[in-house]
């Protein structure tokens, strides 16, 4: 660890330090500027975790322990982590999986960097007995057979527009559209941190059930009755 810190102090960069102690979790991210004498604490998160669901804790840490003004690579890493965690908060109808051990397919369109990161994060992971698998899509592909779809840019928008009615969790960036943006879950930057909001009005036709725990972790929930 000493050599990695020495390299960061020389050229600058981000460094995250986290630890568990009894019933508390602490996460601190330092930003080191080249030529400065010491690091700047960019984010600090400490929270008691007794009786806290581990998936809820993971979502809370993703929202709270991010450096301000995160670079593009870190944003991709956080989005990939979010997508994997989302899968644990959604119930799909039984017909969405041909077999009990069928893979849970996450499609990505319009963001190759995110697809590559997600392929790394999803390796050897499973949700509810379903191993996670990633599929890259482009314009003209069908979203049928997917269980989750992240779409960005023109290609992603076309695929998301074809998703209503399918048992498919759709995720997009709020910045990609206005009030009529497509996506059940939308990434949004709030107070220089990447968060997400949920549009329940788009969930009902899909026959998916989103856990109340996920809704509680969202920045905003719309369409709730």
Answer whether residue 70 shows pLDDT above 90. no
* pLDDT for the residue 55: 53
Instruction: Name, in order, each residue with C-beta under 8 angstroms of 42's C-beta and a sequence gap of 6 or more.
Output: 14, 29, 30, 31, 67, 68
Within a domain: residue 57? no
* pLDDT for the residue 85: 94
Closest CA to 214 of 78, 99, 125, 88: 88
* pLDDT for the residue 225: 61
* pLDDT for the residue 73: 85
Answer whether residue 5 shows pLDDT above 50. no
Query: Are residue 86 and residue 129 in the same domain, yes or no?
Result: yes
Query: Are residue 90 and residue 120 in the same domain, yes or no?
Result: yes
Query: Are residue 47 and residue 91 in the same domain, yes or no?
Result: no
Within a domain: residue 61? no
Answer whether residue 100 shows pLDDT above 50. yes
Within a domain: residue 187? yes
* pLDDT for the residue 25: 39
Q: What is the CATH number of the domain that holds 92?
A: 3.40.50
pLDDT tens-place string over residues 135-150: 999 988 999 999 999 9
Query: Are residue 146 and residue 186 in the same domain, yes or no?
Result: yes
B/e letters for 28-55, b = 16+ CB within 10 Å, e = fewer, are: bbbbbeeeeeebeebbebeeebeeeeeb
Query: Are residue 12 and residue 119 in the same domain, yes or no?
Result: no
Q: Which two tokens stand for residue 185?
A: 């879950």
Count of domains in the chain?
2
């Amino acid at each position: 660890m000493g050599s990695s810190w020495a390299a960061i102090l020389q050229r600058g960069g981000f460094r995250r330090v986290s630890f568990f102690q009894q019933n508390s979790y602490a996460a601190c991210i330092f930003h080191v500027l080249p030529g400065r004498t010491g690091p700047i604490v960019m984010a600090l998160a400490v929270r008691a975790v007794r009786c806290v669901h581990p998936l809820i804790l993971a979502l809370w840490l993703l929202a709270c322990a991010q450096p301000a003004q995160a670079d593009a690579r870190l944003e991709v890493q956080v989005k990939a982590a979010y997508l994997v965690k989302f899968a644990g908060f959604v119930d799909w109808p039984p017909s969405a999986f041909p077999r009990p051990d069928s893979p849970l397919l996450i499609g990505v369109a319009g963001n190759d960097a995110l697809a590559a990161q997600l392929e790394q994060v999803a390796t050897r992971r499973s949700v509810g007995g379903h191993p996670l698998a990633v599929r890259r899509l482009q314009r003209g592909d069908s979203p049928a057979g997917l269980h989750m779809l992240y779409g960005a840019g023109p290609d992603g928008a076309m695929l998301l527009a074809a998703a209503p009615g399918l048992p498919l969790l759709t995720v997009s960036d709020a910045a990609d559209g206005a009030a009529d943006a497509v996506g059940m879950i939308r990434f949004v930057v709030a107070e220089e941190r990447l968060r997400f909001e949920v549009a329940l009005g788009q969930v009902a036709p899909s026959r998916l059930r989103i856990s109340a725990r996920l809704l509680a972790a969202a920045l905003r929930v719309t369409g709730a009755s």
